[in-house]
Each structure stands twice: as C-alpha cells, then as structure tokens.
Amino acid sequence: MLKGQAATAYRDYMNKSMMMQPKEEPAKQSGLLSRNKPVEEDTNMADDNYLIDQFKILQKLRAGMQNG
Amino acid sequence: MAEFIPLTDGPIPGQSLTTEIGARPWQQPAKYSTVEDALEHYANKITDPALNESLIDALEMGTPVTSIAEIVVQSGAMEGMHTIDVSILLLPVLMELIAYVADEAEIEYSMDGSEKIDQDIISPSKIALAMKKLKDKKPEVKEDKPVDMAIESPPASGLMARPSRDMNQVQGEI
C-alpha cells in the first residue's frame, strides 16, 4: 500500500534533475584531413537516466505552457 | 501527529494464504517488465482526452496529484501490469504527466494537498470556455412528420341519415 511515497519520490527527482549536469556533446572531428572513421551513435533505449529525461521533458513542456 | 488507523480496517492475518499461489494477477509475471513500457502504457491513457475526463474532474475537486498517481500505479500493480518497484520508479514522471494534463486543461490543482482549492471559485477562462461551447452548440431541429390520423366519423344514426354501406348490402340481399 502506497502512503505518501509519491511526494518523497517527486522531491527526490526534482533535486536530481536540478543537480544533473547537462550532457556534453562530443566534438566532431570531420575535417578534410581527418583520418577518423565516422562511428554510428549508439541508440540504446535502456538508458539509466531515461526517467529523469522524461521528467525533465515534461517539466520543460509545463514551463513552456505556463509562460505562454 | 500520529494518524489514527482503525484496527479492524486491515486484512485478516493469513488472508493472503486463502487462495492458491499464482491465482492473483500480481503473483503472475508482470505484463510490462520495463519502466519504458509501463510509462508508455500510462502516458497513452492519461493523455487521451476521451479517457482523462474523470482524472481532470478529480483534480478539480481538490484531489492531490500525489494521491492520484499513487492510486494509478497501485491499481496497475494489483492488475499485474507491472511490479511494485516499477510503480515506485514511475511515480514522479506520472505526477509530472498528470500536472501537464491539468495545465493543458487550465484547471487549478494541488500537487501534494498542501494548497486547498476553493471549488466555488470558477476562473474567468473556464466561464469563457463554457460560453463558447454553448454558442457553438447548434440547437437540434426536430422534423415534424405528418401523422396519419384516421378520422373516425361517428356512425350516422337518425331517420334522415344516409344509409351505411352495410345497410345497402343488406337491402340488396332483400
């Protein structure tokens, strides 16, 4: 039986989403003289931060709606 | 302050052992084994305008988002949709999703029950929306079909009255 776990979990996610560092995009090395072969990005759905990402997307949507 | 819990409100000790193991949905393997699948299931239901009317009504009546999210995931776990640990993981995202739906519907809601919502105060935007709906609603025009009414004339009776058809036949026979 759940009794108040939602509020605690929500607070925890809020703190986590605020503390998270934004993802750093790797610098592309694709010049004319670059000898690096292009590697396809790994599109693995089972990301550890899947729920936090969804949480942040929804927060952004809500904020956008409230700001018009 | 300690919450008063009546002693007779719980299950009888050993009640869970009265059915065979595996007879309950939560004793079976969960339908959605991953968080992604379970979230997709709920997201489809919560964002569907045909299904979320009762959810919006509950929010409007002052039910906190936390309670609604808890009830939703708890019933999902009881129906064997997912496990309890998945439901705990889903809670914050579901709360955010419910809040998003409420924002979209332009209603006031309470996240954790701390803010009390006065149901008697109706926002001007809501009144305007209701008025627009009323204006857009076209009145139904019922077509009156002519009803065939058989007019029954009272049987002529009297000395000067015309003889009825039956009477003519009778006279012919005579």
DSSP string, B99-135: HHHHHHTT----SSS-SPP-TT---HHHHHHHHHHHH
The angle subtended at Cα A17 by Cα A16 and Cα A23, nearest 5°, is 110
Please count the other Cβ atoms lying within 10 Å of the Cβ belonging to residue A54.
Answer: 19
Q: Please tell me the predicted confidence (pLDDT) of residue A60.
A: 92
Q: Which chain B residue lies closest to A11 (C-alpha atoms)?
A: B92
Q: Please tell me the predicted confidence (pLDDT) of residue B145.
A: 67
**Cα-to-chain-centroid distance, residue B28:** 29
% residues pLDDT > 70 (chain B): 72
Q: Please tell me the predicted confidence (pLDDT) of residue B93.
A: 95
Measured in angstroms, the CA of B105 and the nearest CA of chain A are apart by: 11
Please count the other Cβ atoms lying within 10 Å of the Cβ belonging to residue B100.
Answer: 18
Measured in angstroms, the CA of B40 and the nearest CA of chain A are apart by: 11
Q: Is residue A6 predicted with pLDDT exceeding 80? A: yes
For A10-67, write each residue's pLDDT tens digit: 999 999 888 877 777 767 667 777 777 777 766 655 556 889 999 999 999 999 988 8
pTM confidence score: 0.65
Q: Please tell me the predicted confidence (pLDDT) of residue A65.
A: 86
Question: Which of the residues in chain B have pLDDT under 70?
Answer: 1-5, 116-123, 125, 138-156, 163-174
Q: Please tell me the predicted confidence (pLDDT) of residue A5.
A: 86
φ/ψ of residue A52, rounded to 5: -65, -40
Q: Please tell me the predicted confidence (pLDDT) of residue B3.
A: 66
Measured in angstroms, the CA of B136 and the nearest CA of chain A are apart by: 25
Task: Note the maximum CA span of chain A.
Answer: 63
Chain A CB contacts of B95 under 8 Å are 6, 10
Contact indicator for B57, B100 with CB cutoff of 8 Å:
no
Residues 6+ away with beta carbon under 8 Å from B123: B106, B108
Contact indicator for B113, A30 with CB cutoff of 8 Å:
no
Verify whether the Cβ–Cβ distance B96 to A4 is below 8 Å: no
Q: Which chain A residue lies closest to B75 (C-alpha atoms)?
A: A1
Q: Which chain B residue lies closest to A50 (C-alpha atoms)?
A: B36
Report the C-alpha gap between A8 and B93 in whole angstroms: 13
Task: Note the maximum CA span of chain B.
Answer: 108
ipTM score:
0.70
